[in-house]
């Protein structure tokens, strides 16, 4: 017999059971009794306590289950590694030193994927601004033939091309910039008939690998889940004697990087927007032959309401796979410590 004056307390489990039963009854009333299970739609049920669940029956009628195991459709693929060069002894010596790095850090490995020593669809292109001399061709071919077989097998073929320009004998910065602008225009319009360029890794002779299997690391940048981009490259990390004077110089992507030459809209943007603009505008000159990269950054950063800033800036992306330290000597130990994702470095010199 309960003591007089004491209130009766219901067990907690009975309260929970009653609440659950009430919610089940509410759910049952929401169903159309004359509908089949396939036609039922579960309406959201809101509960008063935190953590309520909203139950919605998915529509499976239009899903082809046989396609769920299919491989994804990739828009990307690295098709070429292309070195832009001039017919000078300085460029050849730099390129020769770069090939020595390839021996230490090979482009691919025996069991790497998708490119390995048994399978490759990537072409190596040596791209001169003007037609090189025969002795230059012999030096280049000899240097490439001296590479170990596992390194050479990372590439399906080697091509030597040129942009068809006159040799540049002037060291005037404006003349050099004009020459490199013409080189890039020839790449976009493919006047040298490079076979099926898609994503092309464009490098200078001073760009060297600092990790093995760098071809596949770069190839990964072109594939989902990485987003579509016309250019992926490094911010300028090198030495400069003068401070940047424009927004374009601050945000530009360095010339060495990954270019989506297989996207015709990229060529259309450059040829119909950027090129006419710099032909009539005093664009920033920059240092270290910033070439075409500074032109595009300056065009997008210009002070005007007529620009394509909102429409195309997402096509230019800074990336960590490459680092541009032009004009500087950098430490390999520091790169591996501070930039573990970097596989290619462009610098005056790399020390241990």
278-306 residue pLDDT tens: 888 776 665 545 567 778 887 877 755 55
Retrieve residue 248's tokens: 């374009």
Q: What is the CA radius of gyration of the chain?
A: 30
Rounded Cα distance between 282 and 293, Å, is 15
| Confidence (pLDDT) at 43 | 35
Tens-digit pLDDT profile for the chain (352 aa)? 444 444 444 455 444 455 555 454 444 444 444 443 333 333 333 333 333 333 333 333 444 434 434 443 445 689 999 999 999 999 999 999 999 999 999 999 988 888 888 889 999 999 999 999 999 999 999 999 999 999 999 999 999 999 888 888 777 777 787 888 888 888 988 888 888 899 999 999 999 999 999 999 999 998 888 888 899 988 877 655 555 555 556 566 788 899 999 888 888 888 888 888 888 877 666 554 556 777 888 787 775 555 566 678 788 888 899 998 887 888 999 899 989 999 999 988 888 8
Task: Tell me which long-range contacts 130-138 makes (C-beta under 8 A, separation of at least 24).
Answer: 130/86, 130/87, 130/162, 130/163, 130/164, 130/165, 130/166, 130/167, 130/168, 131/162, 131/164, 132/87, 132/160, 132/162, 133/87, 136/87, 136/92
Average pLDDT of every residue of the chain: 75
What is the set of domains in the chain, with CATH numbers? Answer: 78-351 (3.90.550.10)
What pTM, to 2 d.p., does this model score?
0.74
Q: Are the C-beta atoms of 311 and 273 separated by less than 8 Å? A: no
Kindly tell me the sign of the dihedral angle through the C-alpha atoms of 87, 88, 94, 97. positive
């Amino acid at each position: 017999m309960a003591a007089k004056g004491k209130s009766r307390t219901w067990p907690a489990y009975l309260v929970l059971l009653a609440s659950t039963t009430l919610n089940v009854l509410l759910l049952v009333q929401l169903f159309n009794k004359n509908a089949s299970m396939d036609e039922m739609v579960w309406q959201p049920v809101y509960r008063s306590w935190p953590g309520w669940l909203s139950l919605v029956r998915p529509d499976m009628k239009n899903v082809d289950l046989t396609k769920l195991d299919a491989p994804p459709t990739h828009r990307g693929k690295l098709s070429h590694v292309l070195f832009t060069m001039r017919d000078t002894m300085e460029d050849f010596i730099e390129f020769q030193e770069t090939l020595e790095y390839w021996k230490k850090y090979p482009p691919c490995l025996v069991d790497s994927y998708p490119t390995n020593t048994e399978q490759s669809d990537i072409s190596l292109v040596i791209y001169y601004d003007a037609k090189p001399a025969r002795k230059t061709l012999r030096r280049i071919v000899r240097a490439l033939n001296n590479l170990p077989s596992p390194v050479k097998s990372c590439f399906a073929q080697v091509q030597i091309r040129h942009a068809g320009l006159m040799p540049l004998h002037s060291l005037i910065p404006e003349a050099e910039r004009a020459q490199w602008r013409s080189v890039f225009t020839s790449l976009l319009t493919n006047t040298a008939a490079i076979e099926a360029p898609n994503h092309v890794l464009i490098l200078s002779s001073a760009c060297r690998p600092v990790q093995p299997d760098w071809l596949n690391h770069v190839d990964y940048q072109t594939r989902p889940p990485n987003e579509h981009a016309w250019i992926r490259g490094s911010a300028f990390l090198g030495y400069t004697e003068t401070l940047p004077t424009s927004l374009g110089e601050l945000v530009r992507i360095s010339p060495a990087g990954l270019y989506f030459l297989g996207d015709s809209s990229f060529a259309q943007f450059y040829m119909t927007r950027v090129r006419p603009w710099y032909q009539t505008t005093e664009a920033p000159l920059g240092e270290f032959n910033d070439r075409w990269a500074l032109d595009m950054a300056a065009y997008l950063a210009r002070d005007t309401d007529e620009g394509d800033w909102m429409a195309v800036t997402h096509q230019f992306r800074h990336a960590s796979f490459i680092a541009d330290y032009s004009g500087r000597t950098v430490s390999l130990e520091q790169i591996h410590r501070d930039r573990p994702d970097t596989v290619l470095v462009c610098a005056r010199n790399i020390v241990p």
